[in-house]
Amino acid sequence: MAEMIDKKQAQGCADCKEELDVSEALPLIDQIIGSFKTTKGALIPILQQTQNLLGYLPEEALLHISRELDTPYSEVTGVVTFYSFFSTVPRGKHVIRVCLGTACYVRGGKQVLDALVRDLNIGVGETTEDRFFSLEVGRCFGACSLAPVVMIDETVHQRIRPDKVHELLAQYRDQDQEEGAHA
């Protein structure tokens, strides 16, 4: 069990086939909290590291953090819901963000989003069954001259056309298969 938790801690759950049960992760969450116990304003880094560990922030983890920090649960959930980085639902290994800011929208961002929804068979805010992709919408990535733009993880893909969405996703699927073959 310890080996499984260590592996999951190093990789994050999005890369794992088995889910890390929150109750199994509580000792690790306690270590995270302990490392910030004397740090003022530690809630955000604690939430970030907990999300890195679990892949998302389930209610049980949020309640535990609230109790351990002696912080109202409403304050903890307020921070989680305010920052788009945090997620209370499992995310995929690759997070796809489609820009729907003005320039991207006018240049076909909505059609790109529709093509992704069809190809992935999920809606905005959802994750594929295999937890490989999550789909989100953004308002501006600062790349207006390259519109429409899709960001996958930290990589910005420019001038995306709806008919090329499948090829773009295939690059990530193929890359994952290659990495799995070398592991």
Q: Where in the chain is the domain with CATH 3.40.30.10?
A: 94-182
3-class SS shares of the chain: helix, strand, coil, % to 5: 55, 10, 35
Inter-residue contact 112 to 152 (CB < 8 Å):
no
Residues 6+ apart with CB under 8 A from 59: 88
The string of pLDDT tens digits covering residues 99-118 is: 999 999 999 999 999 999 99
Mean pLDDT in residue range 134-148: 92
**Measured distance CA(75)–CA(72) in Å, rounded:** 5
Q: Which of 18-32, 79-93, 105-119, 141-155 has the highest mean pLDDT?
A: 105-119
Among 10-24, 43-57, 83-97, 125-139, the minimum mean pLDDT is found in 10-24
Residue 67 CA: distances (Å) to CA of 24, 108, 172: 17, 46, 40
Confidence of residue 84 (pLDDT cuts 50, 70, 90): confident
Tokens representing 61 are 């983890």
Inter-residue contact 104 to 144 (CB < 8 Å):
yes
What burial class does residue 1 get, using C-beta atoms within 10 Å of its C-beta: 0-12 exposed, 13-18 middle, 19+ buried? exposed
Q: What is the pLDDT of residue 85?
A: 80
Give the 3-state secondary structure of residue 84: coil
Task: Please give the class, per CATH, of domain 94-182.
Answer: alpha beta
Tokens representing 10 are 């190093």
Residue 19 CA: distances (Å) to CA of 5, 8, 23, 33: 10, 9, 11, 22
Indicate the pTM of the whole model. Answer: 0.67
Mean pLDDT in residue range 20-40: 90
Residue 98 CA: distances (Å) to CA of 35, 91, 136, 165: 36, 16, 6, 11
